[in-house]
Amino acid sequence: MPRTLQIIVAFTILMFPMSLFAQPQLPACPEDRDQGLWSFMDRYLLALYDSDPSSYYFILEDESRLDELADVSAAAQQVWIDTERELLNELRSLDQSGFNEADRTDFDLLQYELSVNQQRARYKSFQTPITSIGGPQIWLPQMGSRLPMSTQAHKEMYLTRLKRVDIQIGDHIDNMRAGIQSGRVPPRVVVEPAVQQALAQCSAEIRNDPSQSPFYAPFASIDQRSELAREAQSVIADRIVPVFMELALFLQNEYIPACRESFGASDGIDGIEGYNSALAMHTTIPTITAESIHNIGLGEVERIKREMMQVISQTDWIADPNHGGFLDTTPEHLFSVFTNYLRTDPRFYHNDPDELLEEYQAIAKRVDPGMSELFYRLPRLSYGVKRLPEYQEANAPTAYYYPGNLQSGVPGYFMANCSKLDQRPRYEMIALTMHEAVPGHHHQYALVDEIENQHPIRQTMGFTAFGEGWALYAEALGLEMGDKSTNGLYSDPYDNFGRLNMEMWRALRLVVDTGLHAKGWTRQQAIDYMIENSALAPHNIESEVDRYIGWPGQATGYMIGLLTIKGLRQYAERELGDAFDLRAFHDEILKDGSIPLPLLEKQITRWVMSQRADVMP
């Protein structure tokens, strides 16, 4: 079907949504909140929903538009940029004289987000939608697992979405062609794996049997002789398979040859200005620079290396007469020999992917009971531990977290990469579980759903430095679960070394990201630096470096966020002394959801002042 006709059909369907589902629901303005600001947030959320219904349906408790896919065309992108500009002007015109503290926080957040979006719009990120870890070849095949599928109507709406996949991919191709024409293209190395990812959705197996496609998974449980099942297979065979073949051929023959050989963002059309803008966005610190981040990273690498050497001295490896002689060598040589031992000894690796997954699940069960030691508020939403789809694993990081939603009955998931078992060390598994599940991402994201008297627009806001900074901070909380005198969950020195290795990983990111994008580092230089200063598996290091190349600045938010939260805890402990309540501090950090770090600092300062006033005579 010609794309013009497809768009007409899609528009026609859009005009006649299914009426059996509830329509968007917005909460009334609480009595103590400013009505003008609340009404503005209503309009902003409805505009977001209108631009991409499937990403916001759960917030509005409206499933009537789950048959739609977002319009990613260049025209739609410009409409949204113009819409956000108008929203920003409207926000700034509001009368702020009656704002309470909650109103002020929301106003500051909205102004921050809309201002950053306007500033970033000039860099047209929609023209570079594909890397090895993101893009339509990754996310579209998974959408069936991220939407409600409990009823026949859900599956019928999902089938309508499938009929729009080719339109969206066609728009992505058009956007990438425009990027080629304007010189806005990513480094070649981060796009090359996407060819095989696209081909995986049009393989010979799927062409011969469309029911083998990931897109068909929601229909596997219905009568395979039904009209719905037959139509789903037909749509996959006639529309989805061909468009993924078109995407793969476009990437291979047209896009990749036009991509840059260089790695640094400062080498691209947007230059160092674009990179510094990305750093400011991902760290939420407007004045931060590549040079300052690089220097912070060098200092953190040195600090963590000292702690790692102390933990090495506590291991049975150092007590072994065959290894003890290395104590007389330089610390650098000792570290190198020890990390080589960690990378090569079979005791640290599983031989079966199911066993790896089962250990992650067992660790999660060990962590869960300790949560009440660290928090007063615990979320109601459950979570699970699942394996990443195999087609995604080859170029994916070690793990992801997929948020769930309590209202829709969709649990959160810690998604584990169970491929390349010799690259998945057991000594990192506790820290990784705490990062992705609880008390990390799942705990933080699930609590957002339960915040009372907060406008639902806040559920749409996420800031790398806060969310990833919190998750990295959460890794170390295992030291405070159980017997603290023996390092809690990290009583095994190898697990504790693994925790430090994960922290080192994030410190290395500060150095490597800025090295690649602002200091002219080569890909191999970045890989060698990370191997020299960590026990990370070589395959993971290569995947990580490619991620930094393809996603400039994002990786710096983790450590900047951690250092901010640690600094705030030290400040609160110093100011409050014996009155410091760790559980109350953690609840305060998370009470308003994800916020920029400067706003978090203001919030915690006010909290400390309030706590001190309560305990002072």
What average pLDDT does range 441-456 have in this prediction? Answer: 91
| 166 plus 65 within the same structural domain | no
Would residue 23 count as lying in a domain?
yes
pLDDT bin (cut points 50, 70, 90) of residue 387 is very high
| 256 plus 369 within the same structural domain | no
Count of the separate structural domains present in the chain = 3
Which domain-ending residue is among 542, 561, 580?
A: 561
With left for phi above 0 and alpha for psi between -120 and 50, is residue 260 left, alpha or beta?
A: beta
| 371 plus 455 within the same structural domain | yes
4 has pLDDT over 60: no
How far, in Å, are 26, 66, 243, 449 from residue 61 at the CA level?
9, 11, 32, 12
pTM: 0.84
pLDDT bin (cut points 50, 70, 90) of residue 6 is very low
Least confident segment among 37-46, 48-57, 318-327, 369-378:
318-327
| 87 plus 166 within the same structural domain | no
| 208 plus 316 within the same structural domain | no
Would residue 170 count as lying in a domain?
yes
* Predicted local confidence at residue 151, as pLDDT: 94
Which domain-ending residue is among 62, 87, 122?
A: 122
What average pLDDT does range 433-449 have in this prediction? Answer: 96
Whole-number percent of the chain with pLDDT over 70: 95
As a dihedral over the C-alpha atoms of residue 71, residue 76, residue 82, residue 86, rounded to 10 degrees, the angle is: -40
Would residue 362 count as lying in a domain?
yes
Which domain-ending residue is among 88, 107, 122?
A: 122
Whole-number percent of the chain with pLDDT over 90: 82
| 368 plus 478 within the same structural domain | yes
Which residue spans within 396-455 are E strands per DSSP? 399-402, 412-416
What average pLDDT does range 215-238 have in this prediction? Answer: 96
What average pLDDT does range 364-385 have in this prediction? Answer: 96
220: containing domain: 129-261
13 has pLDDT over 50: no
Would residue 473 count as lying in a domain?
yes
Which H/E stretch holds residue 190? Answer: helix 188-199
* Predicted local confidence at residue 290, as pLDDT: 96
* Predicted local confidence at residue 390, as pLDDT: 86
* Average pLDDT of the chain to the nearest whole number: 92
344 has pLDDT over 70: yes
* Predicted local confidence at residue 453, as pLDDT: 83
Residues 6 or more apart whose CB falls under 8 angstroms from that of 241 comprise 201, 202, 206, 207, 210, 213
* Predicted local confidence at residue 328, as pLDDT: 64
Would residue 591 count as lying in a domain?
no
| 237 plus 332 within the same structural domain | no
Would residue 275 count as lying in a domain?
no
| 469 plus 531 within the same structural domain | yes
- CA–CA separation, 343 and 424 (whole Å): 9
Would residue 461 count as lying in a domain?
yes
Would residue 603 count as lying in a domain?
no
Collapsing DSSP states into helix, strand and coil, what is residue 400? strand
